[in-house]
Structure 1
């Protein structure tokens, strides 16, 4: 089962479940492959009219790298074909969101303010 705290998303395809995760190294690999930055890539997933099958495949490949390093870019395309495009977009989009949990309007908790001193009250 995927660990959401680590930004993992399970992607069921046929009789297999793939675990997706976009760590910083995978994000950089995807950026290098597509020649654009992650903010623009994430924006494409928010505006599906700007998505291409190639960009979806590239991000899927990147998200598979940690748990399924044996899957190459062509294998990612095969998984995408079996899963169908809409399901792939949904799961890869969730993996992108999980990589940036505060990007969707959730506030980062502010540090708790404590009292100055050694923690003992003076009398």
Structure 2
């Protein structure tokens, strides 16, 4: 079962539920497959005109690896097709955002040094 507090999202395909998440290992696998740093991958996701279908398939494949290790890239493509490409990409995007949470409001507490007087 997906746990959004741990960065995972459920992708429902018929009666089968898949879990997408982007751990450090999953992101490394994605970078290796696409031969791009994660920052470039994020930029491509945010610019649909530059996003290739092979990249979409790779993103979904990498997101499945933490919970469905051993699935091939082609199997991930079939899962995305069966779920519906827009649905699969939206779920992957949601899991991707959970992997990079925004910092808490107010930022980290600091302990400023007292001025010596």
- Shorter-chain TM band: 0.7 to 0.9
Distance 1:108 1:24 in 2: 26
Match of 1:18, SS state, is strand
Q: How far does residue 112 in structure 1 lie from its aligned partner after superposition?
A: 6.7
Distance 2:68 2:20 in 1: 9
Instruction: Report which of the two structures shows the higher radius of gyration computed on alpha carbons.
Output: 1
Tell me the C-alpha RMSD between the 2 structures: 2.2
Map of 1:75 onto structure 2: 75
**Which runs of structure 1 show a deviation greater than 3 angstroms over 4 or more consecutive aligned residues?**
105-109
Map of 2:115 onto structure 1: none
Distance 2:59 2:75 in 1: 13
Aligned length: 113
TM, length-normalised to structure 1:
0.82
- Cα deviation, 1:44-85, whole Å, max 9, x if unaligned, reads 221212111100110111110111113111110110111121
Match of 1:71, SS state, is coil
Q: How far does residue 41 in structure 1 lie from its aligned partner after superposition?
A: 0.7
In structure 2, the gaps of 5 or more residues are 112-117
User: Any conservation in 2 of the 1:11–1:91 contact (CA below 8 Å)?
Assistant: yes
Map of 1:62 onto structure 2: 62
Q: How does 1:1-123 map to 2 (within 5 A)?
A: 1-102=1-102, 107=105, 109-111=107-109
TM, length-normalised to structure 2:
0.85
Q: How far does residue 107 in structure 1 lie from its aligned partner after superposition?
A: 4.4
